Chain A
Amino acid sequence: MATPAQLGLMDAASPVMEEMIYFHDHVMLVLILITCLIFYSMLVLMFSKYIYRFLTDGHVIETVWTVIPAIILVVVALPSLKLLYLTDELDNPQLTIKSVGHQWYWSYEYTDYYDIEFDSYMLPIGDLVGGDARLLEVDNRVVLPVDTSVRVLVTAADVIHAWTVPALGLKMDAVPGRLNQLALQCSRVGTFYGQCSEICGANHSFMPIVIEAVPVDVFESWCDGMLDSD
């Protein structure tokens, strides 16, 4: 999750998010260069004592300041498109889970091997214990094995929601009547938080997502526990 007053992106927990951070750094550099150039030009022009009395048209400079931004856009667009298609790639997923958005909670289904289904409601502030994150903790977390390619099928039961986990670089609209596919792979063990990202009613801000990435044996124990509790 984010730390207080955090401005930048969270550390990546998946390979795709790592690539997104690199792309973000690349584009940020381009933007900073452009901004510095413009500020410098503005300062020079503001404090210049000269006035160009016969300024009408400048064909050469207009060509230059059209071509150079076009080149800059190509420099930005090429890695952007590569990343866009990378996010769609699915590498032989070993597990498929379904995430269904409701007003105002998420429900998850692990139906590959067994039939595990549960709802995930936000913990109200009265149920939090010391150190819990307000508006982020849930009663039942999504437990997934680490270093495993997972397919998440996202849909909704009523209105459009969006399933988001920023640390994994994931965001997908949950549209009723439609299944959207996400490729998920946690590179490290940990707990990753997200919040619904499509306005869905009064409690849109109060239906978070929590993914707990655990070693495979812990995941298997969790599955056994869930089946026993059923």
Chain B
Amino acid sequence: MAHQLMRAVPRLVARRAFSTSLARAGGGGGGMPAWQINPRNVYEDRPDFPMPNVPYVSELTDAQKALKTKEAGDWNSLSDEELKQLYRLKFHKSLAEIEAPTGEWKTVVGGTSLIIALTLVLYIIQKKYAMPEMPSTCNYEWQEAMMKRQLQMRNNPVEGLASKWDYENNKWK
């Protein structure tokens, strides 16, 4: 078990399943900030780190390289479509897309409700066919007699049952 874990951890780190962010000591050198959330330079869509260190698309096709060369010049010469393309080379999702609701809650609520419903069905089946009969003290007449007995013996007379019975007029208060 331990050696399987030892093999799994580097695999998970390589797949960026969890962050291994480190704080950098001292002030930033070379224009980099002193503390980075992701110093290993992996692209990640995070609302709290909106400008990742690396672009989303790092290996460009020839057409994309040409567009990048055009970007180096006057930006007024870029069309709307080219601007959008350049944005999508740099970023995977816009902030609005990152924060957009996914509807995952519906799956969770639906799945949970289904499991609860199945459990209720199983319970009803076993109550009807497997469980023994309830004792005779659980029927209505016995419960009524028990309540009368509790009132007679002044059970919980301060704030409980007997405190709610009007003994002079023989009815509930």
Interface residues of chain A, those whose CB is within 8 Å of chain B, are 1, 3-4, 6, 10-12, 51-54, 56, 125, 128, 130-134, 188-191
Q: How far is the CB of A2 from chain B (nearest CB, A)?
A: 8
Given A4-B143, A10-B160, A11-B156, A51 and B48 contact (CB-CB distance below 8 Å): yes
Which of the residues A56, A131, A188 comes within 8 Å of B142, measured between beta carbons?
A131
Which 9 pairs across A and B sit closest by C-beta, in order of nearness? Answer: A131-B145, A131-B149, A11-B158, A134-B137, A130-B145, A11-B156, A51-B48, A3-B161, A53-B48
Within 8 Å CB of A56, what residues of B?
23, 35
Q: Is B155 an interface residue (CB 8 A)?
A: yes
B153 touches A132 (CB 8 A): no
A3 touches B157 (CB 8 A): no
Beta-carbon nearest neighbor of B33 in chain A? A54
Within 8 Å CB of B149, what residues of A?
131-132
Bound-state CA distance A51–B95 (Å) is 13
A11 touches B157 (CB 8 A): yes
A188 touches B157 (CB 8 A): yes
Given A51-B47, A54-B35, A134-B137, A12 and B158 contact (CB-CB distance below 8 Å): yes
Within 8 Å CB of A130, what residues of B?
141-142, 145
Within 8 Å CB of B135, what residues of A?
125, 134
Beta-carbon nearest neighbor of B37 in chain A? A53
Beta-carbon nearest neighbor of B160 in chain A? A11
Q: Is B148 an interface residue (CB 8 A)?
A: yes
B150 touches A1 (CB 8 A): yes
Within 8 Å CB of A132, what residues of B?
137, 146, 149
Beta-carbon nearest neighbor of B162 in chain A? A11
B residues 115-173 touching A (CB-CB < 8 Å): 135-137, 141-143, 145-150, 153-161, 163
B154 touches A190 (CB 8 A): yes
Q: Is B87 an interface residue (CB 8 A)?
A: no
Bound-state CA distance A190–B157 (Å) is 10
Interface CB pairs A-B, < 8 A, 29: A1-B155, A3-B155, A4-B143, A6-B160, A10-B160, A11-B158, A11-B159, A11-B163, A51-B47, A52-B48, A53-B48, A53-B49, A56-B23, A56-B35, A125-B137, A128-B137, A130-B142, A130-B145, A131-B145, A131-B146, A131-B148, A131-B149, A133-B146, A134-B135, A188-B154, A190-B153, A190-B154, A190-B155, A190-B157
Beta-carbon nearest neighbor of A135 in chain B? B137
Beta-carbon nearest neighbor of B163 in chain A? A11
Within 8 Å CB of B157, what residues of A?
11, 188, 190
Q: How far is the CB of B156 from chain A (nearest CB, A)?
A: 4
Beta-carbon nearest neighbor of A129 in chain B? B145
